[in-house]
Amino acid sequence: MNSIELLYLPFVEFGFMRRALVGAVALALAAGPLGVFLILRRMSLMGDAMAHAILPGVAVGFLTAGLSLTAMTIGGMITGVIVALLAAAVARLTPQREDASFAAFYLVSLGVGVLLISLRGSNMELLHVLFGTVLGMSDAALLLVAATSSITLLVLALIFRPLVLECMDPLFLRSESRMGPVVHVVFLLLLVMTLVAGFQVLGTLMVVGIMMLPAAAARFWAVTAIGQMALAALVGAFASFSGLLLSYYANLPASPAIILAAGIVYFLSVTFGRQGGLWQVAKQARARSLRLSRIPERN
Amino acid sequence: MGAGVGVMAARPDTYSPAAVIELEEVSLGWRDKVAVRDLSGCFEKGSLTAVVGPNGAGKSTLLRGIMGLVSPLAGRIRVTGESDGTPAFMPQQGGFDRSFPVSTRDFVAMGAWRRVGPWRAFSSAERQRLDEAMQAVGLGDFGRRPLSTLSGGQLQRALFARLMLHDADTYMLDEPFSAVDRATTEDLMDLVLEWNRCNKTVVVVLHDLELVRRCFPQTLLLAGQCVAWGSTDEVLTPENLHLARHLCAGDYL
């Protein structure tokens, strides 16, 4: 067995590894581009908040129907949308800023959600919801994730131009068309949808990681928004692959391993990235101080 | 529309067939503060008007009102145009994100929104128009530069190019020269004069009275209400300017 085989044999030998890879990659392809937009709109925390906001709905689904995919998905969608709208309303109608109102709502949601699950489920089931079951994905869950990701990417392509305008220059879009608020709501819906599908794979606590970390890493390499989106999707897929391998060989839980892999890519990007990475900044600073120190020599 | 005709018939003295923007006893404001009170008059087709006045005189609010971004508290605003009624608008401090990862060319291309909308591709004619606008503002070689690397003056040039792509009949600019140097102001002012020569209606909010006297035939002097509106020489008299300062100061005393 050579070293190349080490990279793919686990996926050839075990069906559950193949399913995990397909599910995680499908999720990453949609989550990365969404994460890029969250960062561009300075709403990074919002992804986190939304991920927690779906928990009470998932919990109610779980209470009424056990570990049923349909019930938990519908419940998650409902509370996700409700919390998004409520938080936006509080931010608009009171002096409270949007980030603070989202933080308040998601902390409450997390508390309610964990409480509800503990009412009936065991700690094992709570762990499933919080950290996902990437190594035990059913056909239905795989289909849900794949369908959601496809829809997300298609709709994202459809609203791409107005969404970029809404992020870059909302006032301009407002004076040119009435699409702004519609685009904003559609974007929030895509976000909730992807998070709900994603919690099947990585769990409600970890799903934000596959959304934000690749997007944050891509920012250090790509110059344009499109480049960042493509790169974020690739980084997410790569993190899924290497994270699963890591979890297989080191016998670690899979979803934290995937997030850890994405985190390593992120820290490498922060350090070596060509668009404002630490290494580049240090090099430029040194070059500048060298230039400055030469000026007196000439005189 | 019927009601509008009735009003015009009732007040034949303010009716002008060449009016592009008509204001009838318009009051505009934010929440409980009235920024502009009882303003009546019109901007004529092909006119070049400067809007001047102290800070807080309601100049920006007036422009936003004409753009429909603020609803009038009273009175009515009528905007007419040949191709597409909505004027092209450049707000004072564009709320846009300067660090957004986009090339200068793509940023300028946003100006074509009314023709390309959310889905249509840029035709070769549209691309040519884009190139011409970039050339006209002196950013011909800056197309590939990321927006975040532009200086303040270059950014203002990019905003002008974006505005030109609107291809509107009416242009509304809110303090377009407040953050740029002399040379850039001259270049951009030439563009404004060029638009006006092509029979476009242009309304510009300005603070530089010397520039207004030199380039703008018409002036509207605002101070929470209309102090004077007409040809620049008659409006920018020492008495009117003093009155305007006085009216605005009174608001805060």
- Residue B225's φ and ψ, nearest 5 degrees, are -155, 175
Calculate what percentage of chain B has a pLDDT beyond 70.
88
Q: Residue B110 and residue A169: Cβ atoms within 8 Å?
A: yes
Nearest of A169, A167, A161, A39 to residue B95 by alpha carbon:
A169
Is B41 touching A (CB cutoff 8 A)?
A: no
d(CA B176, CA A120): 64
Residue A94 backbone class (left: φ over 0; alpha: ψ -120 to 50; beta: rest):
beta
- Taking CB atoms and an 8 Å cutoff, what residues of chain B touch A164? 102
Domain count, chain A: 1
A159, A170, A228 member nearest B95 (Cβ): A170
Q: What are the b/e assignments for A187-210, b being 16+ CB within 10 Å?
A: bbbbbbbbbbbbbbbbbbbbbbbb
d(CA A133, CA A127): 9
β-bridge pairing B218-222 and B48-52 = parallel
- Taking CB atoms and an 8 Å cutoff, what residues of chain B touch A162? 118
What is the predicted pLDDT for the residue at A56? 87
Locate all alpha helices (DSSP H) within A66-178, ordered by sequence. Answer: 69-93, 98-120, 123-131, 139-158, 160-168, 170-176
Domain that holds residue A188: 3-298
β-bridge pairing B201-205 and B48-52 = parallel
- For B112, residues 6+ apart whose C-beta sits below 8 A from its C-beta are B122, B126, B129, B130, B165
Residues pairing with B19 in the sheet: B44
Question: Distance, in angstroms, between A218 CA and closest chain B CA?
Answer: 12
Q: Tens digit of pLDDT for each residue in A55-80?
A: 888 888 888 887 788 888 899 999 88
- CA angle A223–A229–A234, rounded 5-degree value: 110
Which tokens hold the place of B6? 């009735």
DSSP codes, A21-78? HHHHHHHHHHHHHHHHHHHHTT-HHHHHHHHHHTHHHHHHHHHHHSS-HHHHHHHHHH
d(CA B237, CA A170): 39
Q: Tens digit of pLDDT for each residue in B221-239?
A: 988 888 889 999 888 888 8
d(CA A265, CA B91): 41
Q: Residue A224 and residue B118: Cβ atoms within 8 Å?
A: no
> CB–CB of B64/B106 below 8 Å?
no
Which tokens hold the place of A295? 């000026």
What is the predicted pLDDT for the residue at B252? 47
Count CB neighbours of B99 within 10 A: 11
**CATH for the B18-87+170-253 domain, from 3.30.70.20, 3.40.50.80, 3.30.1490.20, 3.40.50.300:** 3.40.50.300
Residue B90, pLDDT > 80, answer yes
> CB–CB of B205/B199 below 8 Å?
no
Which tokens hold the place of A194? 């992807």
d(CA B191, CA B215): 12
> CB–CB of B172/B88 below 8 Å?
yes
What is the predicted pLDDT for the residue at B85? 62
Window 144-183 of B, Cβ < 8 Å to A: 146
Calculate what percentage of chain A has a pLDDT beyond 90.
37
- Residue B140's φ and ψ, nearest 5 degrees, are -55, -35
Would you call A270 helix, strand, or coil by DSSP?
Answer: helix
Nearest of A278, A272, A235 to residue A35 by alpha carbon:
A235
Q: Lowest-confidence range among A8-22, A149-163, B29-43, B74-88? A: B74-88
DSSP B159: H
What is the predicted pLDDT for the residue at A272? 93
Q: Is the pTM of this model over 0.90?
A: no
What is the predicted pLDDT for the residue at A110? 84
Q: Residue B69 and residue A176: Cβ atoms within 8 Å?
A: no
Q: Tens digit of pLDDT for each residue in A234-281?
A: 999 999 999 999 999 999 989 999 999 999 999 999 999 988 889 988
- Residue A154's φ and ψ, nearest 5 degrees, are -65, -50
ipTM for the predicted complex comes to 0.79
Q: Residue A175 and residue B107: Cβ atoms within 8 Å?
A: no
Q: Where are the domains positioned within chain B?
A: 18-87+170-253, 94-167
Residue B12, pLDDT > 60, answer no
Residue A32, pLDDT > 90, answer yes
Contact residues of A toward B, CB < 8 A = 40, 158-159, 161-162, 164-165, 167-172, 174-177, 179, 219, 222-225, 227-228
Mean pLDDT of B1-11: 39
Q: What is the CATH number of the domain that holds A154?
A: 1.10.3470.10
- For B137, residues 6+ apart whose C-beta sits below 8 A from its C-beta are B157, B158, B160, B161, B164, B187, B188, B191
Axis-axis angle for helices A44-53, A69-93 (nearest 10):
130
Residue A37: pLDDT band (50, 70, 90) is very high
d(CA A160, CA A150): 15
B91, B94, B97 member nearest A167 (Cβ): B97
Q: Residue A172 and residue B107: Cβ atoms within 8 Å?
A: no
d(CA B93, CA B95): 6
Residue B169: pLDDT band (50, 70, 90) is confident
- Taking CB atoms and an 8 Å cutoff, what residues of chain B touch A174? 69
d(CA B37, CA B31): 14
